[in-house]
């Protein structure tokens, strides 16, 4: 039954896209674990391939379980449409391939995920595109850095792993003024904490492996944006390159989404308490956390994020050996490169997620050898603190 009123986020993550009639009353959405779909007649098949009739053809081109996930994510991110992919990088590459051609330029935020950095370098080498990194601090700066051949602006905020923020409203204004689409990787926030499309941006990307899934058991990506653009992506870069999501993985994401708001409230609560602890510790040189009121981007965080998030990066006094020795002393906290899971995870960006980035570029991004990235989990915050404390005591 169609609702006559707008429900809130916490309700949308549970109910959006559910079709009782289609699912025969099943409370949990069925997993349509099929590679292909049958046609009643040859003529029906012809019409579906010609786009003259709605309906499913082949799971690479659409699947009911996947469609429910896409509808839910589009609603949560306030977008017209969404596409699900087999990984976050499949989503990133599909969007960048769709928006660029030989000779085009991409303007990026000062830091990006290591694999995004690698993809940009590969595109430059193989397809003769180009890209530049920008601190994106002022409108005037952005206008100077945009070139006649700039095809898109690509933003991470918070930036992985330095937690630097970019003012999305300001970037969106520049994009509109110049007619250039603005892409935002919103993985660190999820739609619960930040909605770039509401701030004027055009396309949102998630590594759904992280907070969307939330349980460390699925690899996936999501793109949200204008329907016309995503229809084009669906029938070109997604269909022909084939980075699709399986129905089972889509089902796992639907299950994870139901608790997204509850989980992120706890992630954020734990993170604020741990940030305060690390800020005062004598062996910690500096913390990078949007909720720290001494952070230069604190006002941006208050303006565009509902809460400061579940991620902290921090540097230790010492060198790379100090950082690695600290990690090796941890007992509860796991050394792993993902984030957004129930478990607290820590990683060393310079030698792990951003190892592909040359040292000179890493240093410009602010990725020091003593920088550690902590994805705060759902455990008791005191237990996480005590594990950090005993490891800090040993270095």
Is there a contact between 369 and 319 (Cβ–Cβ < 8 Å)? Answer: yes
Q: What is the DSSP string of 281-340?
A: -TTEEEEE-TT-TTSTTHHHHHHH-SS--SEEEEEESS-HHHHHHHHHH-SSSEE-S--S
| 288 included as an active-site residue | no
| 113 included as an active-site residue | yes
Handedness of CA 70, 75, 77, 78 (dihedral sign): positive
Choose among 111, 85, 105, 121: nearest CA to 205.
Answer: 85
Secondary structure of residue 386 in the 3-state scheme: helix
Cα–Cα distance, 297 to 285 (Å, whole number):
18
Q: Out of 210, 263, 362, 373, pick the active-site residue.
A: 210
How far CA 218 is from CA of 112, 244, 310, 354, in Å, comes to 22, 13, 19, 22
Q: Out of 185, 249, 369, 387, pick the active-site residue.
A: 185
Handedness of CA 341, 343, 344, 349 (dihedral sign): negative
| 60 included as an active-site residue | yes
Q: Out of 47, 60, 273, 364, pick the active-site residue.
A: 60
Handedness of CA 220, 225, 231, 235 (dihedral sign): negative
| 185 included as an active-site residue | yes
Q: Out of 48, 113, 154, 362, pick the active-site residue.
A: 113
Report, as residue numbers or ranges, the catalytic residues.
60, 113, 185, 210
């Amino acid at each position: 039954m169609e609702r006559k009123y707008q429900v809130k986020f916490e309700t949308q993550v549970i109910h959006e896209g559910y079709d009782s009639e289609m699912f025969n009353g099943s409370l949990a959405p069925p997993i349509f674990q099929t590679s292909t779909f049958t046609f009643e007649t040859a003529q029906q098949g012809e019409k579906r391939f010609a786009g003259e009739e709605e309906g499913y053809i082949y799971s690479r081109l659409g699947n009911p379980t996947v469609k429910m996930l896409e509808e839910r994510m589009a609603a949560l991110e306030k977008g017209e449409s969404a596409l699900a992919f087999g990984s976050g990088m499949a989503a990133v590459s599909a969007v960048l391939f769709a928006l660029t051609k030989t000779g085009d330029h991409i303007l990026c935020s000062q830091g990006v995920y290591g694999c995004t950095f690698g993809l940009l370098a590969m595109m430059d080498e193989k397809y003769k595109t180009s890209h530049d990194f920008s601190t994106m601090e002022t409108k005037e700066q952005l206008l100077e850095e945009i070139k006649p051949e700039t095809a898109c602006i690509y933003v991470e905020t918070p930036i992985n792993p330095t937690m630097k923020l970019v003012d999305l409203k300001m970037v969106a204004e520049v994009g509109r003024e110049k007619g250039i689409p603005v892409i935002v990787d919103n993985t660190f926030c999820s739609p619960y904490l930040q909605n770039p499309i509401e701030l004027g941006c055009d396309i949102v990307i998630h590594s759904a492996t992280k907070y969307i899934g939330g349980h460390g058991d699925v690899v996936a990506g999501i793109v949200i944006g204008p329907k016309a653009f995503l229809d084009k992506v669906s029938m070109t870069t997604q269909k022909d390159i084939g980075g699709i999501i399986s129905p089972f993985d889509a089902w796992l994401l639907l299950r994870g989404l139901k608790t997204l708001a509850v989980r992120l409230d706890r992630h954020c609560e734990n993170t604020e308490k741990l940030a305060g602890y690390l800020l005062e510790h004598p062996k910690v040189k500096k913390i990078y956390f949007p909720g720290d009121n001494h952070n230069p981007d604190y006002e941006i965080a208050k303006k565009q994020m509902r809460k400061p998030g579940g991620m902290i990066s921090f540097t230790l006094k010492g060198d790379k050996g100090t950082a690695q020795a600290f990690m090796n002393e941890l007992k509860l906290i796991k050394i792993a490169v993902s984030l957004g899971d129930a478990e607290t995870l820590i990683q060393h960006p310079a030698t792990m997620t951003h190892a592909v980035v040359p040292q000179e570029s890493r240093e410009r991004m602010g990725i020091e050898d003593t920088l550690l990235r902590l994805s705060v989990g759902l455990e008791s915050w005191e237990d996480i603190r005590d594990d950090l404390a005993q490891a800090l005591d040993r270095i």
